[in-house]
Structure 1
Amino acid sequence: MVWLCWVGLNRIRFSYQVDAPAVPWFSAEVALVLAIQALVFWRMGLYKGLWRFASMPDLFNILRASVVGAIAIGAALFLFFDRAFLVPRLVLLAYPLGLVITLGAPRLLYRAWKDAHHAQGDGEPGLRVLILGAGRAGEALVRDLKRDPRYVPIGFLDDDPFLRGSRIHGVPVLGRLDEVERTGRETASQMLVIAMPSVGAEAMQRILQLCEKSKLPFRSVPRIQDVLDGRVAPGELQEVPIEDLLGREPVPGDWDRMGNWLEGRTVLVTGAGGSIGSELCRKCARLGVHQLVLVEFSELGLCNIAQELLRGYPALRLTTILGNCGDPAVMKHALSRASVDAVFHAAAYKQVPLLEDELREAMLNNVLATEVTARAAAEAGVGTFVLISTDKAVDPVNVLGATKRLAEMVCHQISADCQTRFVTVRFGNVLDSAGSVVPLFREQIRQGGPVTVTHPDVTRFFMTIPEACQLIIQASAMGSKESIFTLDMGTPVAIRMLAEQMIRVAGKQPGRDIHIVYTGLRPGEKLHESLFHPDEKYRATLHPKILEAEPREVDDDSVARAVKLARDAVGRYDLSRIEHVLRTSVPEYRPDAPEGDQAKPSNNVVQLQGGSPS
């Protein structure tokens, strides 16, 4: 193409001159032009481009290489041949444009042919897709969809009035987002795709409501963070993330503060193979800890998280301890392996209905193991001990909440006689954690239903696993010697509504394709959870979504006596004695509270005025 362009332009230029010299098809001048332009193309990477994916950046690169080549050719002809004056200026000026046409056109034609050939597929008609959002994500999506025979993009909907009637890659903008029901019906759409990955929680809730009203299945384009984290492939359509269904803005993190606290330190994590423990390990590694000590009872869980950390952070010093954190010898050995600066105690049993019938194991793991771990950390001079608690420890009505509350009291008692800083972090239900409601609903929907919900009015606070772990580290970095932190999690989510939205996200209709069955509250369950206790004075922190509570006064001698009695009762498997210890040591524990009392939601919204709740 360089040869054709250079010789052709010269012949065209001299064809208008009567006494013009003959332009040879090949000469030393042409050889020099070919050599210089080939060198420029090679240096600018044009020989590495794939015609299949040619686009505007490729044309720009060709133009740049052509301009540089024209300048270099003019200089070389003047220096080596002293004949630059014989090269018409029109040829040098037209040469870059000619190269862009002769090099760019074949590439674009080839790509158009490949796209058309690929889009034909096996002759089956593709799914008719209506795209919500005509911004950058929508433009990139329609380019991908037009190359995929499974989909046929038929239009955009966008609230920007300046886009009305315009076309993006030949696909028209048909109207506003709130016209999705009518437009979907008129265009015979078979699927909606939300192409607004950066929209806020409130706007996303509006879009989801519009999608649900249309009764069409819907998907979304992945967010860049999901792609970078490897949870979804670039360009792959996915179900709307569960966190988007909650309608709550993700809690921002002060990564500088967290990094300053953790960078270069040694951290020990119990329950390191669990949902929360493993994410804590990832967050600590990302924040630059010097060494991680992992304590885990499950050998498979320990292997999985250790291998993941070694792959992702090869420079991280990793120590693995297979054993029970409730064994004093295990904890003494783990703390002797390194000079530990902070302990995150994530090991716990958390399944509410199961623990109602496993009182001994709940006491053993949630209380006595906490006592062993906390005391070992205090004796080893660890700077910070973090207990991961739950909102169910506030006015507990189940074994999980009561044992977690007693664990908080144990940490309070131990903190009185040591220099270790004790921090307790409470939060609500964690999305997609092992045994939580979301994976259960997802599996029930996959099997065709029914989806089981305990009660039509039951509500819960939710947060994602990364959010929960971010809260734990954020609160730990700002706490005083003894602190209880909780997250202002906004409005509780109705489980029935969550189930209905998950069914619609899967492309089904609640009550028609997938039925919802109400099974009744299980043992130990409330209708509504509370985040705050009336006797705990809450105040704002440096983080807008984290509240700090003043720990309630407890009798340290009574707590120590309760631990001693509980250990004796656990050793003898005396369930009645264990229950008695739990009831007397946690006076607010009311396992027999009438359902009417449970159905009254607590005041979950705390208005902070002057540093205290009103």
Structure 2
Amino acid sequence: MVLTFSYCMSAYLSMNLVDAIDFEINYLHYLGLVVFCLASFILLGLYKVATRFVSFRILLLVLYISVLSILFFYSFAKVLGLEAYNISTAVMYGLVVYITLSGSRFIISAYHTMRFDRLKTRVLIYGAGAAGRQLAETTANGHEYHAVAFIDDKSDLHGVVVRGLKVYPPSELESVINKYSVDRILLALPSIGITHRKEILTDLQKYNIPVMTIPGLKDIVEGKMKIDEFQNVSIEDLLGRDPVPPNEALLHQDIKGKVVMVTGAGGSIGSELCRQIIRLNPKQIVLFESSEFALYAIGMELQQAIRNKGLEIPVRQVLGTVQDKLKVDSVLKAFGVETIYHAAAYKHVPLVEFNINEGIRNNILGTMCVAQAAITAGVEQFVLISTDKAVRPTNVMGATKRFSELVLQALASEQSKTRFTMVRFGNVLGSSGSVIPHFEKQIREGGPVTVTHKDITRYFMTIPEAAQLVIQAGAMGKGGDVFVLDMGEPVKIVDLAINLIKLMGLQIKNQENPHGDIEIIYSGLRPGEKLYEELLIGDNVSETEHPRIMTAKEKSLPWNKLSGLITELMKACDAGDQEKVREILLKAPADYQPSSEIVDYLWRSKSTSVLH
């Protein structure tokens, strides 16, 4: 039909009205042309292309076929001696073929697009740069999302149409959402700074529309993820901050070309330390961990990363507890360990409060065992991962971490062979036992979200930033130093919960909004928990060469006095005398101020049985 229509139209359009009326079709020429065109369509693959999709490649193919048909039209007419079929008629034939073939495909494609777009999720793309344009093209060919417009803060793009979508300024965001009935916002800003991203996300929260983001530029470039593998916006995007470029000399000082051991290697901080360490090309890395599965998981991950980078770094996976001094001593000597990052500890406040003896044995005795073994083995550098809960602790966990700091301070003053350094920081985002995964699980289950107290606040830092700063702080230590990481501004936990709910496109359910989605309830402070965390005991703080690392002068106790307290503490633990344990912790210069009565399970069980 297209070829017949084009054949007739070419005559009428290329001739004057009288000649066109008198024009008679030469059927031999017509049939020859039809056979040639159909053969060209088949051989060049025009019928293999779905008519739903029109691309630049298809338009080129149709143009190529049209040019060939012009040449055949004119040449065949000359062979048959048809004077009426001149060059203008042939060109007109080719133009009509091109217009009808491409036009029909545009119409069919537009019909299918309009039909299926009504069934797709309507999305607004935030960012009209290269990533946003690629995303618009990807969604246009996909089955799930229909992009309706762009938002971009670059004034030179406002009002411009990109990939068929108009670009609007952020000031018109609300009107655009209402105009296009937007169901979801896709953040296509893979390379912007964390601070700018935080500002954008804070602004988007008020619309109660789910926000998703494309993977980071690094993951896209390295082929780890595709641009259309959308991810939920993480709370790190709202709490994180732009990183300070690391001091490369500090990063490499205690790691490059050295044998490095990480205790608690399978934990949140320990595993991230391991990832950062292998990037710094150690001679060998020793993973010391009490959990078989955690050790297996981090070992496999590191070995795969080492293979991918084409490195040759031996990974030694050692199962063991830091309380076993003989085991630790033999490991240090067997592998010739030069640097230790001691991340092994029980850190969950309520759990340690209910299991006091284990918290003391692991956090205090374990630290002492590893530290003494390090001295015996001639380890050069020992870095303790401490916590803000060690400052004026109100719980056993914080008291044990402050006590472990005292152990290292005392041992540092006794010898100079091993440099002992302590690095103190607050909560890390996404760690095991962190409040954020807990909130996310509660929200996915429909709520309610439980917050202990409306005023409780915490410091937060991303795990990669914390690990990188720990390595740099450790390298600055001279012996017995306590370093404090700049955690930024404290964050109210209830604000975290509200942000997470809004980022998922849900509404808070309360008295003002009884038909909301997720309710927030307050469960009360848990044993040993306090409203506010501190990073320093005193005000004696000094700056260092790194803007986010400070050093503090804290109280200490000589080893001959501290070792006596440790002996008493272990005897009290062995006897299960929790009152004596508390008495010793109060006696130590740890500023321990318990906020609740003793809630240890075994102690309460024993006390109850005595009463009965």
TM-score greater than 0.5 by the shorter chain: yes
TM-score (norm 1): 0.75
Once the two structures are overlaid, the 10-residue window that deviates more, 367-376 or 459-468, is 459-468
**Larger C-alpha radius of gyration, 1 or 2?**
2
Instruction: For residues 100-159 of structure 1, give each alpha carbon's deviation from its aligned partner in whole angstroms, at most 9, with x where no partner exists.
Output: xxxxxxxx99x9999989968978611111122222222222122112121111111222
CA contact (8 A) 2:186 2:212 kept: yes
For 1:351 and 1:119, the matched residues in 2 are separated by: 54
In the TM superposition, 1:182-581 aligns within 5 A as 182-227=175-220, 233-246=226-239, 248-314=241-307, 315-418=312-415, 419-511=417-509, 512-534=516-538, 537-581=540-584
Residues 312 and 587 of structure 1: CA distance in aligned 2, closer, same or farther (over 3 Å): closer
The alpha carbon displacement at 1:451 in A equals: 0.7
The secondary structure found in structure 2 opposite 1:305 is: helix
Q: In the alignment, residue 412 of structure 1 is paired with which amino acid? A: Q
Q: In the alignment, residue 560 of structure 2 is paired with which amino acid? A: D
The alpha carbon displacement at 1:54 in A equals: 8.9
Residues 299 and 376 of structure 1: CA distance in aligned 2, closer, same or farther (over 3 Å): same
Do residues 162 (structure 1) and 160 (structure 2) align? Answer: no
Residue of structure 2 in register with 1:152 after alignment: 146
The alpha carbon displacement at 1:593 in A equals: 8.2
For 1:424 and 1:383, the matched residues in 2 are separated by: 15
The alpha carbon displacement at 1:200 in A equals: 3.1
Instruction: For residues 18-39 of structure 1, give each alpha carbon's deviation from its aligned partner in whole angstroms, at most 9, with x where no partner exists.
Output: xxxxxxxxxxxxxxxxxxxxxx
CA contact (8 A) 1:180 1:214 kept: no
Residue of structure 1 in register with 2:119 after alignment: 125
The secondary structure found in structure 2 opposite 1:311 is: helix
CA contact (8 A) 1:270 1:277 kept: yes
Q: In the alignment, residue 202 of structure 2 is paired with which amino acid? A: Q
The secondary structure found in structure 1 opposite 2:414 is: coil
For 2:267 and 2:148, the matched residues in 1 are separated by: 45
Match of 2:169 among 171, 176, 191: 176
The secondary structure found in structure 2 opposite 1:469 is: helix
For 2:394 and 2:244, the matched residues in 1 are separated by: 29
Instruction: For residues 67-126 of structure 1, give each alpha carbon's deviation from its aligned partner in whole angstroms, at most 9, with x where no partner exists.
Output: xxxxxxxxxxxxxxxxxxxxxxxxxxxxxxxxxxxxxxxxx99x9999989968978611
The secondary structure found in structure 2 opposite 1:416 is: helix
What is the count of residue pairs matched by the alignment? 492
For 2:464 and 2:593, the matched residues in 1 are separated by: 32
For 1:298 and 1:554, the matched residues in 2 are separated by: 33
The secondary structure found in structure 2 opposite 1:292 is: strand
For 1:143 and 1:237, the matched residues in 2 are separated by: 15
CA contact (8 A) 1:118 1:148 kept: no
Residues 401 and 155 of structure 1: CA distance in aligned 2, closer, same or farther (over 3 Å): same
Residues 313 and 228 of structure 1: CA distance in aligned 2, closer, same or farther (over 3 Å): farther
Q: CA RMSD in A?
A: 2.8
Q: In the alignment, residue 508 of structure 1 is paired with which amino acid? A: L
For 2:296 and 2:506, the matched residues in 1 are separated by: 38
Residues 273 and 554 of structure 1: CA distance in aligned 2, closer, same or farther (over 3 Å): same
Q: In the alignment, residue 186 of structure 2 is paired with which amino acid? A: V
Residues 462 and 199 of structure 1: CA distance in aligned 2, closer, same or farther (over 3 Å): same
The alpha carbon displacement at 1:268 in A equals: 0.9
For 2:576 and 2:223, the matched residues in 1 are separated by: 46
Q: In the alignment, residue 534 of structure 1 is paired with which amino acid? A: G
Q: In the alignment, residue 592 of structure 1 is paired with which amino acid? A: S
Instruction: For residues 164-223 of structure 1, give each alpha carbon's deviation from its aligned partner in whole angstroms, at most 9, with x where no partner exists.
Output: 2111111111x2113211221122111112222333344323322321222222112221
For 1:260 and 1:556, the matched residues in 2 are separated by: 29
For 1:117 and 1:269, the matched residues in 2 are separated by: 61
For 2:290 and 2:115, the matched residues in 1 are separated by: 51
Residue of structure 1 in register with 2:66 after alignment: none
CA contact (8 A) 1:155 1:171 kept: yes
CA contact (8 A) 1:115 1:146 kept: no
The alpha carbon displacement at 1:55 in A equals: 8.2
Residues 320 and 523 of structure 1: CA distance in aligned 2, closer, same or farther (over 3 Å): same
Residues 176 and 396 of structure 1: CA distance in aligned 2, closer, same or farther (over 3 Å): same
The secondary structure found in structure 2 opposite 1:425 is: strand
Residues 112 and 288 of structure 1: CA distance in aligned 2, closer, same or farther (over 3 Å): farther
CA contact (8 A) 2:402 2:590 kept: no
Residue of structure 2 in register with 1:589 after alignment: 592
The alpha carbon displacement at 1:267 in A equals: 0.5
CA contact (8 A) 1:181 1:213 kept: no
The alpha carbon displacement at 1:280 in A equals: 1.1
CA contact (8 A) 1:558 1:585 kept: no
CA contact (8 A) 1:180 1:210 kept: no
Q: In the alignment, residue 567 of structure 1 is paired with which amino acid? A: M
The alpha carbon displacement at 1:252 in A equals: 3.5
The secondary structure found in structure 2 opposite 1:178 is: helix
Residues 251 and 239 of structure 1: CA distance in aligned 2, closer, same or farther (over 3 Å): farther
The alpha carbon displacement at 1:291 in A equals: 0.5
The secondary structure found in structure 1 opposite 2:146 is: strand
The alpha carbon displacement at 1:281 in A equals: 1.1
For 1:470 and 1:216, the matched residues in 2 are separated by: 35
Residues 320 and 558 of structure 1: CA distance in aligned 2, closer, same or farther (over 3 Å): same
Instruction: For residues 456-476 of structure 1, give each alpha carbon's deviation from its aligned partner in whole angstroms, at most 9, with x where no partner exists.
Output: 111110011111111111111
CA contact (8 A) 2:259 2:282 kept: yes
TM-score (norm 2): 0.75
Instruction: For residues 320-341 of structure 1, give each alpha carbon's deviation from its aligned partner in whole angstroms, at most 9, with x where no partner exists.
Output: 2211111111101211221111
Residues 474 and 278 of structure 1: CA distance in aligned 2, closer, same or farther (over 3 Å): same
CA contact (8 A) 2:215 2:230 kept: yes
For 1:121 and 1:237, the matched residues in 2 are separated by: 24
For 2:336 and 2:357, the matched residues in 1 are separated by: 33
The alpha carbon displacement at 1:345 in A equals: 0.7
CA contact (8 A) 1:127 1:190 kept: yes
The alpha carbon displacement at 1:249 in A equals: 2.7
The alpha carbon displacement at 1:397 in A equals: 0.8
The secondary structure found in structure 2 opposite 1:389 is: strand
For 2:302 and 2:468, the matched residues in 1 are separated by: 18
Instruction: For residues 444-492 of structure 1, give each alpha carbon's deviation from its aligned partner in whole angstroms, at most 9, with x where no partner exists.
Output: 1111111111111111100111111111111112222221111111111
Q: In the alignment, residue 590 of structure 1 is paired with which amino acid? A: Q
Q: Percent identity?
A: 42
For 1:368 and 1:442, the matched residues in 2 are separated by: 35
Once the two structures are overlaid, the 10-residue window that deviates more, 514-523 or 551-560, is 551-560
Q: In the alignment, residue 515 of structure 1 is paired with which amino acid? A: E
Q: In the alignment, residue 435 of structure 2 is paired with which amino acid? A: V
Residues 298 and 113 of structure 1: CA distance in aligned 2, closer, same or farther (over 3 Å): farther
CA contact (8 A) 1:119 1:147 kept: no
